[in-house]
């Protein structure tokens, strides 16, 4: 009897398992219904609708998750049983034993596959769960769409508040009225290339052109100074490493291919050092001891300036296709509509015997009008631009009487954050009454320190954003509006000054400011801001996941970490400059501590040759290693800068930034070596050296009169 029962159970084991699984599933459904009923019966009058809905959704999700897991487990059991049955059928032994019972497996036809109803017993339940999950996802999408619709329905003031809050998180300066709903971008965005004394290779500048164009630049403001290939009687004005005429033509045509206009800048009053420093031109100075300004009262001055302008304009006109028939016309002519004649910071004016007879304002305005008249007579299609700083102190009547507004357009330049401190509303009103239109100028480097290594990006960005607000406010005063903004990047403060920030080191500042003024505001959305794409950054951080913005600027930082992981022309030089800046700061602090703050290697110890050898060795232990590190960085600078500059600029950079620190470390070693030579020391008190007495005018007790 028992044997037959076991045989029956063994043959129907699959059916018994299915029945047991169904009973368990039925019990679980019953338990879930009871819990929902009891939860719904509880009082919830004190809760809001969202608070009541949240636990119900959480409980329902947990129940669905448990049931889905049970169904998956049941399906795994069914598959395991089928595999086991197939393995048993393939076994060669037909005899099975169970305890003391011996029986034979009955012979029967080979089992076929399970019926569809048994293989997918829980398919309907699984489909119901999937449908419920899909409904939940649809509900979530509807909620997101509703939130997006709410954002679109925000007022302009609310959107501006959110935008300014995001700017503050990123460290980007906030300027009232500048945002996605603010004024339009300036029509013209010029990038200033200051070539005097540190000319980048034109191959590097060519790589930069498509980047500038992609970020919104419309033209170049090129200041040649002594890098222009002057010829004939003007050949001495060109530096020994000046550009060749054919390579300069090729560069100008490349700029045309990228859709960039060109505005050459030729100084014609102040900043004439590159001409007046030379033998044979010194007689044209305003003052004999200063080559800064040319004397406008000498006829030879006007003749020289006309020759300079003619050579520069003719070269650009030939590229434009407006030269003589014998000249070659390029395939893609450049847009050459204006020439800039400088006239800023004329520090020595009206001081020679001839110029003293006239007022400074009259002297300046007549010279500017004469230069502009010459240009307009020879090339009537060209507009003339000058810097505005010499006009700021002049009255409205002086400007109108000179008729300067009919000849030139001023370029108003301020590089500080408070633009109205230098250009008050009254001055804007005066300019608008004299000039039909004007230009403006900001800075992306070379404005916050004569010898800086890395430009302060945040300060330059704030300057450019504030100019956007000023252009929007003051442009309506002019009958023809404000033409645009020039982003200046000075390489030297004047011809005799040392280098300030190199162009590759200033590229992150340039690109950040250029993309901002081209859009009319700084875009906080990384997908909408062109910086990440154009600069080829290797990562695009998502602030919603990391909790940190994709760009972080700080008042005391020179850069953002973003630019250290981007790939753009000059990025290796930028990264090198950051490492050099940190190394020089580290060594500077080390020298200050050992010389000014220590008690054994100070100037007093050196003057009296009186110190502890043990302490001196301890203080100077790192010095030889630091010297070797700087020498290695000097060799690295030669390799990296060679891609951008010629050997003269490379050696000047190394001599200016690295060699002085090596000298200071070597002086420290020499002082230490002198202190270490001594083996005996005098008794105290130590006498005051005679030179110190004389320099300070002191009288010791022994020298006092009896």
Catalytic residues: 345
Q: Nearest CA to 289 among 217, 352, 215?
A: 352
DSSP designation for 705: -
Q: Nearest CA to 243 among 200, 187, 296?
A: 200
The angle that helices 503-519 and 571-592 make with each other, rounded to 10 degrees, is 120
CA distance 56 to 50: 10
Cβ atoms of residues 626 and 590 within 8 Å: yes
CA distance 77 to 311: 92
CA distance 260 to 323: 20
CA distance 93 to 90: 9
Q: Nearest CA to 24 among 89, 86, 69, 87?
A: 69
Tokens of 231: 């010829």
Rg of the chain taking only CA atoms, in angstroms: 41
Strands (E), 187-335: 188-194, 219-223, 261-265, 285-287, 290-294
CA distance 249 to 227: 14
Cβ atoms of residues 412 and 388 within 8 Å: yes
Tokens of 365: 């305005």
Tokens of 632: 């290695």
Tokens of 687: 């006498």
For the chain, report the end-to-end CA distance as a whole number of angstroms: 143
3-state secondary structure of 579: helix
Q: Nearest CA to 463 among 406, 504, 423?
A: 423
CA distance 183 to 465: 12
Beta strand 290-294 pairing with 285-287: antiparallel
3-state helix, strand, coil in the chain (%, to 5): 55, 10, 35
Q: How many CB atoms lie within 10 A of CB 90?
A: 7
Q: How many CB atoms lie within 10 A of CB 114?
A: 15
3-state secondary structure of 197: coil
Whose structure tokens read 């004047």?
Answer: 494
3-state SS of 575-634 is HHHHHHHHHHHHHHHHHHHHHHHCCCCCHHHHHHCCCCHHHHHHHCCCHHHHHHHHHHHH
Cβ atoms of residues 553 and 457 within 8 Å: yes
CA distance 401 to 392: 16
CA distance 517 to 369: 32
CA distance 498 to 638: 18
């Amino acid at each position: 009897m028992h044997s037959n029962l076991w045989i029956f159970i063994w043959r129907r084991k699959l059916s018994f398992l299915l029945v047991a699984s169904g009973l368990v599933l039925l019990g679980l459904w019953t338990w879930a219904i009871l819990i929902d009923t009891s939860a719904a019966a509880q009082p919830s009058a004190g809760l809001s609708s969202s608070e009541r809905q949240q636990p119900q959704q959480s409980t329902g999700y947990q129940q669905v998750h448990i049931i889905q897991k049970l169904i998956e487990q049941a399906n795994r059991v069914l598959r395991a049983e089928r595999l086991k049955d197939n393995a048993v059928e393939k076994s060669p032994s037909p005899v099975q034993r169970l305890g003391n019972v011996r029986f034979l497996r009955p012979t029967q036809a080979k089992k076929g596959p399970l019926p569809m109803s048994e293989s997918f017993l829980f398919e309907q339940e699984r489909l119901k769960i999937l449908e419920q999950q899909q409904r939940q996802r649809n509900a979530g999408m509807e909620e997101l769409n509703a939130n997006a619709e709410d954002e679109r329905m925000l007022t302009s003031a609310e959107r501006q508040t959110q935008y300014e809050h995001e700017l503050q998180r990123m460290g980007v300066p906030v300027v009232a009225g500048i945002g996605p709903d603010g004024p339009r971008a300036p029509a013209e965005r010029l990038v200033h290339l200051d070539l005097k004394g540190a000319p980048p290779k034109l191959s590097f500048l060519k790589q930069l052109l498509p980047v500038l164009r992609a970020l919104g630049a419309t033209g170049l403001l090129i200041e040649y100074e002594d890098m222009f290939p002057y010829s004939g009687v003007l050949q001495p004005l060109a530096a020994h490493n000046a550009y060749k005429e054919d390579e300069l033509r090729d560069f100008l045509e490349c700029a045309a291919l990228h859709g960039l206009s060109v505005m050459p800048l030729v100084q014609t009053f102040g900043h004439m050092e590159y001409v007046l420093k030379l033998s044979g031109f010194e007689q044209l100075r305003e003052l004999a001891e200063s080559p800064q300004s040319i004397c406008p009262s000498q006829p030879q001055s006007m003749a020289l300036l006309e020759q300079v302008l003619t050579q520069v304009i003719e070269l650009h006109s030939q590229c434009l296709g407006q030269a003589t028939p014998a000249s070659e016309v390029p395939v893609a002519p450049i847009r050459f509509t204006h020439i800039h004649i400088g006239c800023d910071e004329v520090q020595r004016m009206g001081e020679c015997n001839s110029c003293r007879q006239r007022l400074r304002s009259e002297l300046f305005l007549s010279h500017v009008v004469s230069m502009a008249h010459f240009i307009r007579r020879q090339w009537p299609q060209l507009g003339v631009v000058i810097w505005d700083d010499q006009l700021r102190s002049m009255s409205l009547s002086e400007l109108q009487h000179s008729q300067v507004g009919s000849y030139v357009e001023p370029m108003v330049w301020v590089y500080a954050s408070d633009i109205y401190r230098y250009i008050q509303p009254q001055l804007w009103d005066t300019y608008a009454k004299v000039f039909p239109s004007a230009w403006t100028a900001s800075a992306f480097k070379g404005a916050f320190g004569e010898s800086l290594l890395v430009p302060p990006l945040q300060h330059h960005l704030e300057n450019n954003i504030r100019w956007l607000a000023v252009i929007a406010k003051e442009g309506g005063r002019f009958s023809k509006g404000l033409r645009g903004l020039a982003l200046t990047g000075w390489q030297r403060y004047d011809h005799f000054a040392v280098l300030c920030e190199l162009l590759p080191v200033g590229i992150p500042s340039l690109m950040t400011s250029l993309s901002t003024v081209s859009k009319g505001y700084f875009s906080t959305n990384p997908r909408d801001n062109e910086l990440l794409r154009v600069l080829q950054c290797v990562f695009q951080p998502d602030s919603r996941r990391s909790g940190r913005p994709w760009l972080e600027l700080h008042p005391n930082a020179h850069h953002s970490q973003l630019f250290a992981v981007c790939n753009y022309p000059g990025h290796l030089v930028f990264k090198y400059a950051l490492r050099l800046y940190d190394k020089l700061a580290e060594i500077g602090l080390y020298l200050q501590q050992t010389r000014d703050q220590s008690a054994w290697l100070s100037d007093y110890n050196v003057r009296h040759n009186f110190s502890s050898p043990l302490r001196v060795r301890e203080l100077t232990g790192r010095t030889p290693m630091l010297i070797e590190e700087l020498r290695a960085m000097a060799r690295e600078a030669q390799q990296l800068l060679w891609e951008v500059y010629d050997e003269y600029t490379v050696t000047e950079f190394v001599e200016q930034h690295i060699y002085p620190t090596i000298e200071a470390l070597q002086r420290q070693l020499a002082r230490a070596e002198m202190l270490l030579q001594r083996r005996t020391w005098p008794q105290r008190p130590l006498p005051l050296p005679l030179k110190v007495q004389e320099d300070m005018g002191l009288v010791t007790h022994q020298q006092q009169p009896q």
